[in-house]
């Protein structure tokens, strides 16, 4: 059952990888070749040398690491505030935050650009990094849902033991919500890794571009480098796969709640 389903889910990746090894003439064959014949590494060599691959990799990683760090920190704090603390206006602010997601990005793009332009941040990584430190509605909501499942009695107990709110947050909540935090981490990292629109709009210098944007360089007005697109796409998602594979345990190994009665 798992294997059959797995084949269905792995198909696109298989197709992506095999296409990247096909010759140009065979890429357009129909029906598609299941196994490339002949195999060629040409697209990888050309793809990696056509881009400043190392530089774009570094650029991408810098943005990803900062964005992930910022999101995890700010969102877990906010979610804690939204789930475990009582204060006036909590529900209202939660709804306002939630509703900000309901407006399509396309219409806030232009005024948002104005803000960054006024701040003098255009053509830097700041528009791509700094907002992460100010929370993200999606992840706050996600973490809030997780924190809500953690018994409040834990908080009470900690308070009696003399813990401050920040200590409760960092010593109790974060470790307990580790699967959720890991989820937020990988999602943010991936989001920043694949983001194409943000770098496209805010960066005015090709040497600052990211890999996802560099990938677009293989798509033209008149014709595409389809093989290179596939080859660099494969290179682009391999690290994500490895990262996911290495961290997938943390999604499921959070402190199990045995012994803690709700």
Task: Tell me if 48 contacts other proteins by CB under 8 A.
Answer: no
- Which residue in the set 149, 157, 159, 164 belongs to the binding site for other proteins (CB under 8 A)? 149
Q: By C-beta, is 48 or 174 nearer to other proteins? A: 174
Task: Tell me if 54 contacts other proteins by CB under 8 A.
Answer: yes
114 to 133: interface string for other proteins, x by CB under 8 A:
xx-x--xxxxxxx----x-x
- Which residue in the set 67, 78, 192, 231 belongs to the binding site for other proteins (CB under 8 A)? 78
Burial of 226 (0-12, 13-18, 19+ CB in 10 A): middle
- Which residue in the set 4, 34, 160, 258 belongs to the binding site for other proteins (CB under 8 A)? 258
CB of 131 to other proteins, least distance (A): 5
Which tokens is 109 given?
A: 């793009």
Q: By C-beta, is 21 or 225 nearer to other proteins? A: 225
In the range 93-112, which residues lie near other proteins by CB under 8 A?
93, 96-112
Task: Tell me if 41 contacts other proteins by CB under 8 A.
Answer: no
Total binding residues toward other proteins, as defined by CB under 8 A: 148
Cα–Cα distance, 104 to 78 (Å, whole number): 23
Task: Tell me if 157 contacts other proteins by CB under 8 A.
Answer: no
Task: Tell me if 4 contacts other proteins by CB under 8 A.
Answer: no
Task: Tell me if 39 contacts other proteins by CB under 8 A.
Answer: no
In the range 183-242, which residues lie near other proteins by CB under 8 A?
183, 185-187, 190, 194, 196-197, 200-201, 204-206, 208-209, 213, 215-226, 229-230, 233, 236-237, 240-241
CB of 35 to other proteins, least distance (A): 16
């Amino acid at each position: 059952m798992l294997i059959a389903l797995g084949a269905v889910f792995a198909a696109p990746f298989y197709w992506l990888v095999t296409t990247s090894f096909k010759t140009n003439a065979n890429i357009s064959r129909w029906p598609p070749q299941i196994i490339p014949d002949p195999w060629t590494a040409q697209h990888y060599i050309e793809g990696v040398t056509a881009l400043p691959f190392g530089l774009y990799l570094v650029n991408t990683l810098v943005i990803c690491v900062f964005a992930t760090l910022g999101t995890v920190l700010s969102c877990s704090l906010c979610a804690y505030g939204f789930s475990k603390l009582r204060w006036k206006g909590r529900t209202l602010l939660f709804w306002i935050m939630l509703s900000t997601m309901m407006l399509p990005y396309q219409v806030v793009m232009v005024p948002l650009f104005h803000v960054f332009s006024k701040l003098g941040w255009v053509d830097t990584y700041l528009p791509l990094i700094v907002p992460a430190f100010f929370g993200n509605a999606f992840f706050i909501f996600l973490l809030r849902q997780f924190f809500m499942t953690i018994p409040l009695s834990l908080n009470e107990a900690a308070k009696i033991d003399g813990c401050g709110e920040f200590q409760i947050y960092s010593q109790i909540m974060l470790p307990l919500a580790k699967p959720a935090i890991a989820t937020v981490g990988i999602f943010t990292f991936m989001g920043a890794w694949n983001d194409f629109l943000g770098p496209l709009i805010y960066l005015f210098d090709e040497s600052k571009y990211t890999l996802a944007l560099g990938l677009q360089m293989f798509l033209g007005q008149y014709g595409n480098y389809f093989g290179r697109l596939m080859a660099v796409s494969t290179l682009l998602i391999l690290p994500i796969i490895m990262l996911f594979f290495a961290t997938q345990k943390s999604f499921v190994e959070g402190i199990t709640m045995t012994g803690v009665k709700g």
